[in-house]
Amino acid sequence: MPRKVRDSRLESRTARLRLPIRKKPYTGPSLARGIMLLFRRNKGNGRWVVKAADGHGAYWTKGFAEADDFENADGIHVLTFHQACDVAKALARGQTGTPGDKPLTVADAIAAYKRDLKSRGKHLTSATRVEYHLTGVLAGKPVGLLTVRDLQTWRDGLIEKMQPSSVNRTRTGLRAALELVATLGHRISNRHVFRLGLRGLPGSNRARRIVLPDADVLRIIKAAYDITPTLAATLKNAKGDRSDHEPLLLKQDGRAWQATSTCDHRDLFHRAVERAELNPNEVTSYSLRHSSIVRALLRGVPVAVVAQQHDTSVREIEAHYAAYILDHSDAVSRRALLETPGPLSADTAQRAAQPPAGGTE
């Protein structure tokens, strides 16, 4: 039979009220390996806090209920010492109650999202983009204990690094990962936090939405492919003994270039844009994607096909490109208009309006 957990300083309200009020929690008993109960002494009811190992050499803490210092416990919001011990263990174990189990972290959620994308034949960019910008603090946070502030702080930290549209793409990937693990039976009950903490930034649909004429796109492509025989020989030497399916160009540290790292490709694309005599402050690599989507839509390619070709969804296409398409809809609508040789006389128009002989009203 397991030994009953006891701590004379925290077990009774009388003993807790003797403790000085302070911001730093008092360390309570060890409930299991890597799990401890803490107590924060306040002017009113104290606060129970769980401290648990994250499996990566660090710890996370989370306040989860008030102590029954000045009011009776209700088993939910106000807990006794022994109730707090049970809840703390359940939280630290991902609310499964399985011995040795650990809470599912944000890093675990991203890994699960990558596996899901791969199994469905989808591009991994939406997951690797989040992984690239994920902080160590957020990566080790249990998904079930995420707060709105946790997610808002991470999202707002991206604003100084990228455009609002890029922030929205990145936060969308994180929310997709969190929603995925929340639907896989992990008993995560804070899904509302994902929506509130990862709200999209306003006005991002208009940012950098540069659609280029076909001639400009071809100029950029030509500039990017304009290589000399000397450069071709250099690239052949750089390939060495590597097979054709391996990355041709490596960074100085020997790693492959990452599609999700703006610093990897931005400068090179700027050079191509400048060589094409366009403005690199306006034309980005995403301009080619925007242009491709609009070109396909204006030429009658079904929206579902356009979405699949560009690794997005019909909903995203309609949300981000509907206004632009409406601005250019005259050319599309004109194709469905009735062609006439010229202005119709009153008699001709009247005859055209009459039903054909033998027809019905």
pLDDT of 223 strictly over 70: yes
Per-residue pLDDT at 38: 94
pTM of the complete model: 0.47
> Residue 251: which pLDDT band, with cuts at 50, 70 and 90?
low
Q: Does residue 37 surpass a pLDDT of 90? A: yes
Three-state SS for 110? helix
315: exposed, middle or buried (C-beta count within 10 Å: 0-12, 13-18, 19+)? exposed
Is it the case that residue 64 has pLDDT exceeding 80? yes
**What pLDDT was estimated at residue 80?**
92
pLDDT tens track for 130-157: 998 998 888 888 888 788 999 999 999 9
pLDDT given for residue 45 in this prediction? 92
- Measured between alpha carbons, how far is residue 20 from residues 13, 17, 42, 328, 357 in Å? 13, 8, 9, 70, 101
Query: Closest Cα to residue 263, out of 137, 169, 166?
Result: 166
6 with 64: CB under 8 angstroms?
Answer: no
Fold category of 106-197 in CATH: DNA polymerase; domain 1 (1.10.150)
Pure H helices in the chain? 13-17, 81-92, 106-119, 125-133, 136-139, 148-157, 164-182, 191-197, 214-225, 229-239, 262-275, 285-298, 303-309, 314-327, 329-334, 346-353
Q: Which residue has the higher pLDDT, 55 or 159?
A: 159
Q: Give me the pLDDT at residue 264, please.
A: 53
**How far apart are the C-alpha atoms of 358 and 356, rounded to whole Å?**
6
Residue 200 burial (CB < 10 Å; 0-12/13-18/19+)?
Answer: middle
As a whole number of Å, the CA-based R_g of the chain is 30
Q: What contacts 103, CB < 8 A, 6 or more positions away? A: 52, 91, 92, 93, 94, 95, 142, 143, 144, 145
The torsion region of residue 240 among left (phi > 0), alpha (psi -120 to 50) and beta comes to left
pLDDT confidence tier of residue 70, bands split at 50, 70 and 90: very high
d(CA 167, CA 159) in angstroms, rounded, equals 7
| The length of the chain, given as a count of residues | 361
Give CA–CA dist 49/35, Å, rounded: 11
What does DSSP assign to residue 145? Answer: G
101 compared with 196, residue with greater pLDDT: 196
Provide the pLDDT for residue 20.
93
pLDDT digits (tens, 9 = 90+) for 323-352: 666 655 565 666 666 665 666 566 665 665
